[in-house]
Chains A and B, each alone.
Chain A
Amino acid sequence: MVSAAKRPGWIALVGVLVFNLMLLSLQTNQHGTPGFMRQFLLDLLAPAEMLVDRGVQGVAGVWDGYFALLGVNDENHRLRAENDQLKMQLQQHDEAIREAARLRGLLGMADSGIGKTVAARVIGRDTSRVLQTVTIDKGQSDGVRANHSVITPDGVVGRVFTAASRSAVVQLITDAQSEVAAMLRESRVQALFKGTGGRDLELDYIEDDYGVEVGAEIITSGLDQIHPKGLPLAVISVIGEKGEHFRLMQARPRVDLSRLEDVLVVIEPAPPTGEPQRPASPASPAAHGSRRNDG
């Protein structure tokens, strides 16, 4: 028998637990995902995160600035020489780009850019050990929505999991629940890579593993309807023994996800150009892509 004095404690606990279970059940049934609560809390937390992040960045900037003064003269000379070399390379590349544009025009193809992007800054990381998500300082007010691709010039970072009004949570490609439709750059063989929860990606499906070697480049195939086609994804780092259907493989992401600072969110992907994309048939596992959410 619970005494009257102790009852309020238990009632409060049961109330809080039931409230959380109700939230969970809403998400299980998918009738009304409590996205509003996630967005509300994200909006509450984001300004504080931005403020603290700027403070930390400011302190780091002053520190770096002081040490940058040491040896700045040597670095200046080195950079001038490097600048001259880059100028020459740029002139050569300019010519190559003009030629490519001319040929593209002749073939009747549109610009193969990745589309409209928004630059964002990483302001926080997931508070649990295993899940791999980061928080960015751009949200719905900047056009960011769930399932938008997040990239850097080096390659794919992940996808937007939830977008609040001024911030968003990004699921990294290495997250254990992440899947990316990909293909090998050289052989154009379709594959599906999933996150391991650690630093690497793991092969989940491949059409044909013959001839795949360590160091092979993996790019996005665009079949998951999230990441634009042709973005650098990872490099095959380990090829193991033959599994049930194909050899087990691991790949190291092209982007160093532990040192993310600035990213781009693809808010309006360019229409597919270049090579015709294979239609996504339900039978092909590679066509399933990342596990999407409507958050």
Chain B
Amino acid sequence: MSRFRKIGSVGSSLLVPFAVVVIQGILAYRFRVFNYFDLPLIYCVYYGFTRSKPVASAFLGGGLGLLQDSLSRHAMGTNGFSKALLCFAAASTSLKFNVDQAITRIFALFLFTVADRLLVSILGLAMGTGQGEIFSGGLMDLILSGVFNTLLGLIMFGFRDRFRHAP
């Protein structure tokens, strides 16, 4: 039984990142509002907080970021670097702090969104593939993105809590 569970866990760890990036691409294309969301980032934080495995989180973040880069004109490794770092940070945070509290999750989701945009902007400027997205997009854009990501992240955590505590 535990072997099946392990295979399922590994399979979902490999398949879910693909699904997340594909769904983000399709939704952003169909509905403009989804441009404000960053599903791969939310999943990174969710994975880091719930699994609390820094090594797996770093690999997952790197993979997710590379998949994201392949669908954009970012230099390969831009999102890979950022997501690996943030996913690792999320997992490490969950080992030291109580991430079951809503306030911790709100702060973390918002700050990780800002940190991701900052890192991607700096790397984009360094590579000459971006014009400092965090600045060109505007502060309001960044705040909206942070708020949307935080709300969606909280919903995901809410579902998880509900199922975890279900009898």
Q: Which A residues form the contact surface with B (CB < 8 A)? A: 8-9, 12-13, 16-17, 19-24, 27-28, 34, 37-38, 41-42, 44-45, 48-49, 52-53, 56, 122-131, 133-135, 161-162, 169, 171, 175-177, 197, 258
For chains A and B in complex, what number of residue pairs have CB atoms within 8 angstroms? 168
Q: Which of A12, A20, A38, A171 contacts B70 (CB 8 A)?
A: A38
Pairwise interchain contact B133-A130, C-beta atoms closer than 8 A? yes
Residues of B within 8 A of A42 (CB): 70-71
Query: Beyond A16-B61, A53-B26: 16 further Cβ-contacts under 8 Å?
Result: A9-B55, A23-B77, A37-B66, A48-B19, A124-B26, A125-B25, A126-B28, A126-B72, A127-B25, A127-B28, A128-B79, A129-B145, A135-B25, A177-B129, A197-B131, A197-B137
- A53 to B18 Cα, complex, angstroms: 15
Pairwise interchain contact B136-A49, C-beta atoms closer than 8 A? no
Identify the interface centre among A16, A42, A129, A133: most chain B CB within 10 Å of its CB. Answer: A16
Is B80 in contact with chain A by the CB < 8 A criterion? yes
- A129 to B143 Cα, complex, angstroms: 12
Pairwise interchain contact B26-A49, C-beta atoms closer than 8 A? yes
Across the A-B interface, the 8 shortest Cβ-Cβ residue pairs: A124-B25, A23-B77, A41-B70, A125-B29, A20-B77, A9-B54, A20-B81, A130-B133
Dominant SS among interface residues on chain A: helix
- A126 to B69 Cα, complex, angstroms: 9
Pairwise interchain contact A133-B77, C-beta atoms closer than 8 A? no
Pairwise interchain contact A45-B22, C-beta atoms closer than 8 A? yes
Give, as a whole number of angstroms, the nearest-CB distance from A18 to chain B.
10
Is B109 in contact with chain A by the CB < 8 A criterion? no
Pairwise interchain contact A41-B67, C-beta atoms closer than 8 A? yes
- A77 to B80 Cα, complex, angstroms: 57
Pairwise interchain contact A24-B88, C-beta atoms closer than 8 A? no
Residues of B within 8 A of A162 (CB): 73
19 interchain pairs, CB-CB under 8 A = A27-B76, A28-B127, A37-B66, A48-B19, A56-B26, A125-B28, A127-B39, A127-B68, A127-B71, A129-B35, A129-B145, A130-B137, A131-B73, A131-B133, A169-B73, A176-B130, A177-B73, A177-B130, A197-B136
Identify the interface centre among B19, B65, B81, B127: most chain A CB within 10 Å of its CB. Answer: B81
Pairwise interchain contact B76-A127, C-beta atoms closer than 8 A? no
Q: Which of A17, A169, A258 contacts B72 (CB 8 A)?
A: A169
- A133 to B54 Cα, complex, angstroms: 32
- A9 to B53 Cα, complex, angstroms: 8
- A16 to B77 Cα, complex, angstroms: 10
Give, as a whole number of angstroms, the nearest-CB distance from A158 to chain B.
10
Give, as a whole number of angstroms, the nearest-CB distance from B21 to chain A.
6
Pairwise interchain contact A27-B127, C-beta atoms closer than 8 A? yes
Give, as a whole number of angstroms, the nearest-CB distance from A1 to chain B.
17
Give, as a whole number of angstroms, the nearest-CB distance from B114 to chain A.
13
- A134 to B75 Cα, complex, angstroms: 16
- A263 to B129 Cα, complex, angstroms: 25
CB-CB under 8 A for A177 and B62, given A13-B84, A129-B137: no
Pairwise interchain contact A45-B26, C-beta atoms closer than 8 A? no
Pairwise interchain contact B77-A21, C-beta atoms closer than 8 A? yes
B residues 68-113 near A (Cβ < 8 Å) are 68-81, 84-85, 88, 92
Give, as a whole number of angstroms, the nearest-CB distance from A53 to chain B.
6
Q: Which of B23, B29, B71, B123 contacts A24 (CB 8 A)?
A: B123
Pairwise interchain contact B71-A12, C-beta atoms closer than 8 A? no
- A77 to B79 Cα, complex, angstroms: 54
- A140 to B145 Cα, complex, angstroms: 35
